[in-house]
């Protein structure tokens, strides 16, 4: 397949040692729910209407049963690194004792990567909380960080000798605000007060998890946030875009940088919570240095004044996700957009990287997820996804722009290695650089996979 986007000139713009990889997450690809305990996503998927097309955990991409061939596939792409997540209920069913069978799966995964010379980048929590922990309040339980630390210790002791890069959480904003404040994701509470408390307690878990990982010998411990740029299209809504920026970006970076909780947030959320669950001791723990920060970036948040025309629809773009937002604005993603309704605006990835570097100075940054859902067509055994190649080309160029501007960006992971369960969108959205036929489970690398391979080779 040919493309008008050239890999070689882009490759030249990437710094020495820049890591190129692909990412996945356990619940989205693994299948084999019989081999593990239950998670909040299994419970959520059981309720009709929660997942658009009724998709459940099985068979997903049947990755557990296809581990070896998936690793061969990854190797054939020539990427440096693979970012995956561990299913907590697979290695600790019921969040209690360790499962040898579950640990063995990740043992084989990690060894299989190393044998193929691919760097393992492990995320502890990509949203599949054991159901038993949700039963005691989940991320609002004051002791949740202790459970998370036990889980981190288990993984650290088992894998610290072989895993080069560790992330505690994936996108705590999504866990807290799509899962607790609203009902878009599991566990689907729809309680803004719980969302705000979960946001804080997720970060206490990050802190305790990082301590536990390091005690077990893990190096290179970081975390992954979904950060973006909030754009105001009209001075009348500047304060609304600023509030979106506060909850989406600054809240997390302030905690990591030791700036605590912004008084504006406390003021604007007082109808929901008095934040009395915050403790100085925990704030100090959360601000302990991390070795790197991962940023998942897909799209900006564009805010305009409310109009009678109504805003354009986009997955996850709604002010109910930002408890306390001042009235008078609406989200208005512009064309061009992906199938998620997300505006394609690579410049916002550059500004997000620049902003993050100034808000959390001295911490190396990675793009740990970036990619797009597009309406793919499998024709004669090929998927010629030029729209996705264009997305990758413009966004990796945007990373290079940030590097040129002096930001310390060390790597980029495409979301996703393969088509998978896109959470509440089920199988209706394809983000893979590899196409998955859900009937036969056949994997077909798309033209975008060829483009990223060419980019990796051209360095």
Answer yes or no whether residue 25 interacts with ligand FCB by CB under 6 A: yes
Answer yes or no whether residue 296 interacts with ligand FCB by CB under 6 A: yes
Pair of tokens at residue 78: 């020539």
Cβ distance to ligand FCB smaller for residue 237 or 415: 415
Q: Where are the beta strands (DSSP E) in 246-297?
A: 292-296
Cβ distance to ligand FCB smaller for residue 99 or 432: 432
Q: Which residues contact 264 (CB under 8 A, 6 or more apart)?
A: 243, 246
Answer yes or no whether residue 197 interacts with ligand FCB by CB under 6 A: no
Tell me the closest approach of the beta carbon of residue 8 to ligand FCB, in angstroms. 28
- Alpha helices, DSSP H only, in 4-143? 7-13, 26-29, 40-46, 67-77, 88-91, 100-115, 131-134
If you ran DSSP here, which 8-state letter would residue 139 be given? G
Cβ distance to ligand FCB smaller for residue 51 or 174: 174
User: Binding residue for ligand FCB (CB under 6 A) from 292, 342, 423, 451?
Assistant: 423
Answer yes or no whether residue 5 interacts with ligand FCB by CB under 6 A: no
Answer yes or no whether residue 448 interacts with ligand FCB by CB under 6 A: no
Q: Which stretch binds ligand FCB (CB under 6 A): 130-138, 169-177, 198-206, 399-407?
A: 169-177
Cβ distance to ligand FCB smaller for residue 171 or 216: 171
Q: Which residues contact 196 (CB under 8 A, 6 or more apart)?
A: 176, 181, 269, 272, 273, 275, 323
Answer yes or no whether residue 422 interacts with ligand FCB by CB under 6 A: yes
Residue nearest to ligand FCB (CB): 25
Answer yes or no whether residue 226 interacts with ligand FCB by CB under 6 A: yes
**Phi/psi of residue 49, nearest 5 degrees:** 95, -20
- Whole-angstrom CA distances from 8 to 5, 46, 408 are 9, 47, 22
Answer yes or no whether residue 254 interacts with ligand FCB by CB under 6 A: no
Answer yes or no whether residue 369 interacts with ligand FCB by CB under 6 A: yes
Pair of tokens at residue 99: 């499962």
Tell me the closest approach of the beta carbon of residue 1 to ligand FCB, in angstroms. 24
Look at residue 50 and give its three-state secondary structure: coil
Task: Evaluate the CA torsion angle 62, 64, 69, 72 in order and state its sign.
Answer: positive
- Residue 56 CA to residue 427 CA, distance in Å, equals 10
Cβ distance to ligand FCB smaller for residue 292 or 431: 431
Q: Which residues on adjacent β-strands are paired with residue 225?
A: 295
- Residue positions annotated with a catalytic role: 171, 369
Tell me the closest approach of the beta carbon of residue 215 to ligand FCB, in angstroms. 27
Contact 23, 413 (CB under 8 A): yes
Cβ distance to ligand FCB smaller for residue 163 or 174: 174
Contact 447, 434 (CB under 8 A): no
Q: Pick the closest to residue 456 from 2, 61, 11 (CA basis).
A: 11
Contact 94, 150 (CB under 8 A): no
Cβ distance to ligand FCB smaller for residue 33 or 338: 338
Site for ligand FCB (CB under 6 A): how many residues?
12
User: Binding residue for ligand FCB (CB under 6 A) from 39, 170, 228, 232?
Assistant: 170
User: Binding residue for ligand FCB (CB under 6 A) from 105, 139, 415, 451?
Assistant: 415
Cis amide linkage into residue 336, ω under 30° from 0:
yes
Tell me the closest approach of the beta carbon of residue 371 to ligand FCB, in angstroms. 7
Judging by DSSP bridges, how do beta strands 434-436 and 443-445 pair with one another? Answer: antiparallel
Q: Which residues lie near ligand FCB (CB under 6 A)? A: 25, 28, 170-171, 174, 226, 296, 369, 415, 422-423, 431
């Amino acid at each position: 397949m040919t493309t008008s986007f050239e890999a070689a000139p882009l490759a030249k713009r990437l710094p020495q040692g820049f890591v190129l990889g692909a990412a996945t997450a356990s619940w989205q690809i693994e299948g084999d729910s019989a081999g593990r305990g239950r998670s909040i996503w299994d419970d959520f998927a059981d309720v009709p209407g929660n997942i658009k097309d009724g998709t459940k955990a099985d068979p997903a991409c049947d990755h557990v049963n296809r581990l070896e061939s998936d690793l061969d596939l990854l190797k054939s792409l020539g990427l440096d690194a693979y970012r995956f997540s561990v299913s907590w209920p697979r290695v600790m069913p019921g969040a209690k004792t360790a499962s040898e069978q579950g640990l063995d799966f990740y043992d084989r995964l990690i060894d299989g990567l190393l044998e193929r010379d691919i760097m393992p980048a492990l995320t502890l929590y990509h949203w599949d909380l054991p159901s038993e922990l949700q039963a005691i309040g989940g991320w609002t339980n004051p002791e949740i960080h202790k459970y998370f630390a036990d889980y981190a210790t288990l993984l650290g002791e088992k894998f610290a000798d072989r895993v080069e890069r560790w992330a505690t959480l994936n996108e705590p904003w999504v866990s807290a605000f799509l899962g607790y404040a609203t009902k878009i994701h599991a566990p689907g509470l729809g309680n803004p007060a719980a969302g705000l408390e979960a946001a804080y307690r997720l970060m206490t878990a990050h802190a305790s998890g990082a301590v536990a990982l390091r005690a077990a010998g893990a190096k290179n411990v970081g975390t992954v946030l979904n950060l973006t740029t909030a754009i105001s299209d009209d001075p009348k809504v500047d304060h609304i875009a600023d509030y979106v920026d506060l909850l989406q970006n600054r809240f997390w970076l302030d905690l990591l940088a030791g700036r605590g909780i912004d008084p504006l947030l406390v003021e604007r959320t007082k109808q929901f919570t008095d934040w009395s669950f915050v403790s100085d001791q925990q704030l100090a723990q959360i601000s302990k240095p991390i070795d790197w920060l991962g940023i998942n970036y897909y799209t900006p948040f564009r805010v305009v004044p409310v109009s009678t025309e109504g805003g354009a629809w986009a997955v996850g773009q709604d002010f109910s996700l930002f408890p306390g937002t001042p009235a008078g604005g609406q989200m208005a993603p512009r064309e061009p957009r992906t199938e998620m309704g997300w505006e394609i605006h690579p410049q916002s990835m550059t500004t997000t990287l620049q902003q993050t570097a100034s808000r959390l100075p001295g911490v190396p940054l990675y793009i740990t997820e970036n990619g797009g859902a597009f309406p793919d067509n499998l024709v004669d055994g090929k998927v010629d996804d030029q729209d996705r190649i264009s997305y990758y080309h413009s966004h990796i160029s945007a990373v290079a722009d940030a590097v040129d501007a002096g930001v310390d960006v060390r790597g980029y992971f495409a979301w996703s290695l393969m088509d998978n369960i896109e959470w509440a969108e089920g199988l209706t959205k394809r983000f893979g650089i590899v196409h998955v036929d859900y009937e036969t489970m056949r994997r077909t690398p798309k033209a975008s996979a060829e483009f990223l391979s060419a980019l990796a080779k051209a360095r």
